[in-house]
Structure 1
Amino acid sequence: MPDVLVLVDHDGERVHKSTYELLAAARRLGDPAAVVVGTPGTAARLKESLARHGATSVYVAESDEAGEFLATPAVDVLELAVRDACPAAVLVSATTDGREVAGRLAVRLDAGLLIDAVDLDSSGVVTQIVFGGAYTVRSEVTHGTPVIALRPGAVEPEEHPVAAMVRELVVPSVDPATSARITDRRASPAGDRPALTEAAVVVSGGRGVGGAEGFTVVEELADALGGAVGASRAAVDAGYYPHRFQVGQTGKTVSPQLYIALGISGAIQHLAGMQTSRTIVAVNKDAEAPVFGLADYGVVGDLFAVAPQLTEEVTARRAAP
């Protein structure tokens, strides 16, 4: 079977969950081949977990420059890997960085590009959410090697242990004049909650939370469920919660097993970032709020009355023998 290249999303020490999802999707088209772009020693730390999730090959492209520039090293390496392997497709995660890499790679390869895919079948036909979530379409690349950006959370990761063969690639020298160099790094405050795009449960608050202090009820419910905290654009713009937690068309796209919207009216901008969640629960005072048109379960009521009761019930059930 042909290789399917998967760009590994990692932090240098661990593989992000979205990569395991890509490997599961890649198996529908051929043999998953993980492409690791990083500083020296990165691939050795990641190889075992990649093989455990089905990577039959691991392309290793390591250099000091790989951690100094945005997007360019990954695009360069993927272009080399495509020329070397003639893969059935290239899969990347539809994150901000992933979309950048996918677009640039497709231009270099003169190939078709499919962004924000939420499903992929064995024939290469992709299901996409387009126009801010207004339509669901099925698309297929008819020219060149398909470059597909898959939305995090769209495919269930699964372990599929194999023996991975290592293949070395030389990272081309980056031209600083045409590339964006990383001049500084600032770590976000660490916490015990899962990453927003990788969480199985997301609890988000909107304008209805009323202020930064109101997000306490959102955080308490998220913690009771072992989930992540999100926020609508309205809440972020009002200064209730940091921008890095924004869910929506101009924020992060999530597809958890459970999404709980507290005090979120349901503007299309927000719905575009969470509508592929498996189960959606909405709590809002306004019975006519657009979010109820998408929700699987809706509660018309005060979130400050409903959310604490739900938190208490979840906590009690988890504590029960």
Structure 2
Amino acid sequence: MEEWEKYFAEAPAPPEFEDVCKRLEEFCLYNAGKKPIVLVTSGGTTVPLEQNTVRFVDNFSAGTRGAASTEYFLKAGYAVIFLHREKSIAPYTRHLSPNSLLKNLDKKNGELKLNDELTKMITPVWEEYNRVLSEKCIFMMTFTTLSNYLWLLRAATQSLQKLAPTSLLYLAAAVSDFYIPQAPLGYLVTEQFRGSLGGHKFRVEVDQILPAAKMMTEHKIQSSSGPLTVTLQLVPKMLRPLVSLWGPQLFVVSFKLETDESKLIEKAMGALSKYKHRLVIGNLLQTRREEVTLVSKEDVSVVKLSDTQKQTNVEIELLIVNDVCKRHKEYFESFR
């Protein structure tokens, strides 16, 4: 059994998984032939430390890139499956934070109303949001834990493979590299015993199941137990089965975040070589809002906001999505 198969065998499916998959299939069928479809993943995964979760390890990501990119994919004519962390930043609503809403309310004739400045800013966003809803070209799925995310990622990828090559995966979520297994599957070992009896040598093989090391505790970890030592296991590299098995004809885009500029292109090219997908978008933590590096098998290019674009509040995601859409179009037209 492959490592990723073992992971799904022990990790429970998210709540209402079958119902979500049914609605996912309906969304794909509705948009098939009308629009290309992109899966955008967004936000960070959590790794619970207990089955009845009180504490967890979190991944840094507010979901800004995924939410902004979703809006630009929709404007570019795509239908979007938005797989995002629950309560993370979402498309359209991201333009209206609670603080900005309160600061831009005026009381007129005893009624609270948005002031003219905010109304002018939010009107085109509201119009675009309603267009998207009326055309039924966005489908929202939420996750919190790592296992929720991976179950939904696999389901969405398998659904979109049926519509390949006009489907695209844009994997912007921050996914944990480590986890605590929830249920012990154990593993098989074979021990050999050698000896001699009456001048004859013999060998005996004995199979036994040993429990997997340190599984997730069921209830809240008590501080009275003293200092906590946690052993995390490596998450199987899901990009491998995603590209080779679940979505072999999909245009797959992954992201690589680094803090050391000297390692960025090397790491991105290493990922391309290892997983055989189409594009890696490399970004540095310090400059990710202004510049990214796109690495494919064919070329390496930098996408960067100009000074004018910065002054006019152009988002780097607009440039990224425009480039990805162009590459994706060339990809699926090559199948004709």
Q: TM-score, normalised by structure 1?
A: 0.30
Is the radius of gyration larger for structure 1 or structure 2? Answer: 2
Q: TM-score, normalised by structure 2?
A: 0.29
Greater helix percent: which structure?
2
